Amino acid sequence: MLRFHFLLVALLPVLGAEAQSPWSDATANRSSLTGERRIAPTVHRTVSIDPQAMRAVLDQAPTGMLQEVAGSPVVIDLPRPDGGALSFRFLEVPVLHPDLQAQYPSIRTFTGVGVEDPSVHVKFDLTPHGFHAMVLGDAGEDWFIDPLVQGNAVQHQVYFKKDFTKQVPGGFSFCSYEQENDIAAAQKLTRQWMAQRAAERVGDCQLRTYRLALACTGEYANYHGSNTGNNDKSFALAAMATTMNRVNGIYERDATLTMVIVPNNDLLVYLDGATDPYTNGSGSTMLGENQSTCNAVIGSANYDIGHVFSTGGGGIASLNSPCTSNKARGVTGQSNPIGDPFDIDYVAHEMGHQYGGNHTQNNNCNRAASAAVEVGSGITIMGYAGICAPDVASNSIAMFGGYSMQEMAANITIGNSSTCPVTTPLTNQPPTANAGPDRTIPSSTPFILTGTASDPNGTASLTYSWEQMDNAVATQPPQPTNTDGPAWEPLLPQNTPVRYMPNLPAVITNTTPTWEVLSSVTRDYTFRLTVRDNASGAGCNDQDNMIVNVDGNSGPFLVTQPNTSLSWSALTNQTITWDVAGTNGAPVNCTAVDILLSLDGGLTYPITLATATPNDGSQTVQVPNQQTTAARVMVRANGNIFYDISNTDFTIAAPTSPDYTLAVTN
């Protein structure tokens, strides 16, 4: 196997030759860096790259198809933000059509999959602007590598997504649908698809490739260094390739589709804002301008979806439009069109409308009633994170929500956008998600959602997302007295099918998260488990729903003893008590509980003190000989999903008498 370790100081043998490491840690001397710093995370790791050495290493990678990435013989180590490196198998997978790639050989894009954890994916590129990478799903975190300043292809910064938020002077205009009456048609289409979903799953596990005509205004080109002075379109086209490589990373995983920029796309790269065919500051005007321009320059028969990048005008798009006469009616305009906020929050969002996704936020900003399943501003790509209060977060998380995946699957498999892409069957088989049976729980009581999944290709790369699917209008941030609507924020896909509701640290510290709110009244929650298989190149996914009924007449179910920072001696008998709170009768009908012990402050519960003991509020147990100052007790429903833990750490001390006896005989 040919293997490159980019972070090692030593030289490594490569096919009999020695190759220098293109990466090294560095301390940035800001006074010597003259370029503009357009991406400025609050925390980052600085690394230096030798562009020629990097290009020599990347030259070893074969060019291949998305589905072939996992079998690549080439491995690259990329520096992590908090130290060390992560290894990826990778191939060169051009986002540019081969003819366009041949014209612009300095623009190269790559796709990789984790060696140790195949659920981790990377999209990276090397262009005239430098090296860029987006890593998805590394221990529940996304992170990036980007040039430190504009025009410097040596100094780079490595940072977590959470450490870089939107930097949009003057904010970003709300995005809107061009044709609101299309929403009703989209809802009908989704219902039709849902009737077929047992067979179709989340899509049909076939990779769809759309030809993308991607235009830009002169102002966008100038921002990225292309202008009439140098007459060099490669800088603008390189920025477009970086964005689309990252956008493809999300669509390939969540929607099983990808986009390739058309062969003569450089004809749509305009260098002069005064003479280009676009009104840079008006998104609604550019909708029609882009449709006319793409048809005239590229030809309607030669592309499947069109979009234009600008530095103003906000975002606007035509719903369900690829393959139709409105297929180029998509606009993304931002004054700082660079980096993750532009790529994911805006471009992926607007294209999401084109592929059939409605807004998912549950507030009064361009709310789409059928899809308003996310708390507040929303936080997935089709939400309004950081744009419309109450904000769940400053930025979107890099995933489509389960409802958006459903909408887009309907459109590209049986809807408007199903007729034009190249469809490639996958050898990868779909997973099967199982959210478990419906449950009834007491009010104001934490609970645990636990799903399962199987996959003919193995489960090592599976990730799991639990999301709420209730779209009714509701007070936001959610309140315990809400009788409908969303109360639980979506989270990035995790490597476990288990989600604590609310998050376990909040229960441990007795705090109430703003966006994870237990109900104090009778209501229902519809939860969806989305299982992604994260197959290299194109994911195949499945979903399953379950309902949690909250009984407002029972609960809260509470541990009452131990509940202070007391001390127990090991090997003694101690009594644990809890408030049954009506949970042993209808409709909860919990007749038995399990009692578990934590030794690390409530994070894990490796010791079972009692199993299926009657749910009568009291049980005497023997304290194990496990000394700790951070013990907690969990009382958990047996055969149900609700639980409570003791409020405070307590101590288990050494036994006052030995746990063994030694007999001496003659």
pLDDT in tens, 586-623: 999 999 999 999 999 999 999 999 999 999 999 999 99
pLDDT tens-digit readout, 264-295: 999 999 999 999 999 999 999 999 999 999 99
**194 has pLDDT over 50:** yes
Q: How far apart are CA 374 and CA 383, in angstroms?
A: 8
Q: Tell me, what's the pLDDT at 186?
A: 54
**187 has pLDDT over 70:** no
Q: How far apart are CA 647 and CA 578, in angstroms?
A: 12
Mean pLDDT of all residues in 431-449: 98
**409 has pLDDT over 70:** yes
Q: Which carries the bigger pLDDT value, residue 460 or residue 195?
A: 460
**484 has pLDDT over 60:** yes
493: amino acid identity, one letter: P
Query: Could you tell me if 350 and 369 are in contact, meaning their C-beta atoms sit under 8 angstroms apart?
Result: no
378: alpha, beta or left? (left if phi > 0; alpha if psi -120 to 50) = left
Mean pLDDT of all residues in 93-118: 97
Residues 6 or more apart whose CB falls under 8 angstroms from that of 296 comprise: none
Least confident of 49-58, 265-274, 463-472, 622-631: 49-58
CA distances from 207 to 147, 422, 423, 428 (A): 32, 8, 6, 11
**177 has pLDDT over 70:** no
CA distances from 543 to 80, 329, 430 (A): 32, 31, 11
Residues 6 or more apart whose CB falls under 8 angstroms from that of 99 comprise: 263, 264
Q: How far apart are CA 330 and CA 305, in angstroms?
A: 9
**470 has pLDDT over 80:** yes
**DSSP characters over 221-288:** HHHTT--TTTT-THHHHHHHHHHHHHHHHHHHHHHSEEEEE-TTGGGGB---TTTSS--TT-HHHHHH
- Identify each DSSP E strand in 371-425 by its residue range: 422-425
Q: Tell me, what's the pLDDT at 12?
A: 32
Cross-strand pairs, 79? 85
**500 has pLDDT over 60:** yes
**199 has pLDDT over 60:** no
For residue 659, name the pLDDT band (cuts at 50, 70, 90): low
SS3 576: strand
486: cis peptide before it, omega within 30°? no
Q: How far apart are CA 379 and CA 134, in angstroms?
A: 19
463-481 core/surface letters (b: 16 or more CB in 10 A; e: else): bbbbbbbbbeebebbbeee
The kind and range of the H/E element at 417 are none
For residue 13, name the pLDDT band (cuts at 50, 70, 90): very low
H helical segments located in 499-546: 504-508
**21 has pLDDT over 70:** no
**340 has pLDDT over 70:** yes
Mean pLDDT of all residues in 46-52: 90
Sign of CA dihedral 149, 153, 155, 158: positive
Q: Tell me, what's the pLDDT at 52?
A: 84
456: amino acid identity, one letter: P
pTM of the model: 0.92
Q: Which carries the bigger pLDDT value, residue 377 or residue 11?
A: 377
Q: Tell me, what's the pLDDT at 29?
A: 62
Average pLDDT, the chain: 91
Query: Could you tell me if 204 and 196 are in contact, meaning their C-beta atoms sit under 8 angstroms apart?
Result: no
**Planar angle of CA 248, 249, 255, nearest 5 degrees:** 75
Q: How far apart are CA 176 and CA 179, in angstroms?
A: 9
Q: Tell me, what's the pLDDT at 201?
A: 53
Q: How far apart are CA 501 and CA 516, in angstroms?
A: 7
**18 has pLDDT over 80:** no
**526 has pLDDT over 90:** yes
Domains of the chain and any CATH numbers: 2-163 (no CATH), 176-422 (3.40.390.10), 426-551 (2.60.40.10), 558-653 (2.60.40)
Q: How far apart are CA 619 and CA 631, in angstroms?
A: 17
For residue 661, name the pLDDT band (cuts at 50, 70, 90): low
Cross-strand pairs, 239? none
Q: Tell me, what's the pLDDT at 5?
A: 36
H helical segments located in 8-112: 51-58, 98-103
Query: Could you tell me if 426 and 418 are in contact, meaning their C-beta atoms sit under 8 angstroms apart?
Result: no
- Identify each DSSP E strand in 234-347 by its residue range: 257-261, 305-310, 315-317, 330-333
Q: How far apart are CA 362 and CA 347, in angstroms?
A: 21
Q: Tell me, what's the pLDDT at 466?
A: 99
**207 has pLDDT over 70:** yes
**411 has pLDDT over 50:** yes
Q: How far apart are CA 255 and CA 538, in angstroms?
A: 8
**663 has pLDDT over 90:** no
Q: Tell me, what's the pLDDT at 23?
A: 87
How many secondary structure helices (H) and strands (E) does the chain include?
A: 10, 36
94: cis peptide before it, omega within 30°? no
Query: Could you tell me if 465 and 491 are in contact, meaning their C-beta atoms sit under 8 angstroms apart?
Result: yes
Q: Tell me, what's the pLDDT at 2?
A: 33
**541 has pLDDT over 70:** yes
Smallest CA-to-CA distance from 286 within 236, 242, 332 is with 332
Mean pLDDT of all residues in 5-19: 32
**238 has pLDDT over 90:** yes
Mean pLDDT of all residues in 84-91: 93
43: amino acid identity, one letter: V
**120 has pLDDT over 60:** yes
Q: How far apart are CA 525 and CA 468, in angstroms?
A: 7
Query: Could you tell me if 87 and 75 are in contact, meaning their C-beta atoms sit under 8 angstroms apart?
Result: yes
**537 has pLDDT over 90:** no
Q: How far apart are CA 494 and CA 139, in angstroms?
A: 8
Mean pLDDT of all residues in 369-395: 96
**Planar angle of CA 5, 11, 14, nearest 5 degrees:** 70
**DSSP characters over 444-481:** T--EEEE-EEE-TT-STT-EEEEEE---S---SS--TT
User: Secondary structure of the chain: what % helix, strand, coil (to 5)?
Assistant: 20, 30, 50
Smallest CA-to-CA distance from 42 within 288, 379, 394 is with 394
Cross-strand pairs, 642? 447
pLDDT tens-digit readout, 345-359: 999 999 999 999 999
Q: Tell me, what's the pLDDT at 278?
A: 99
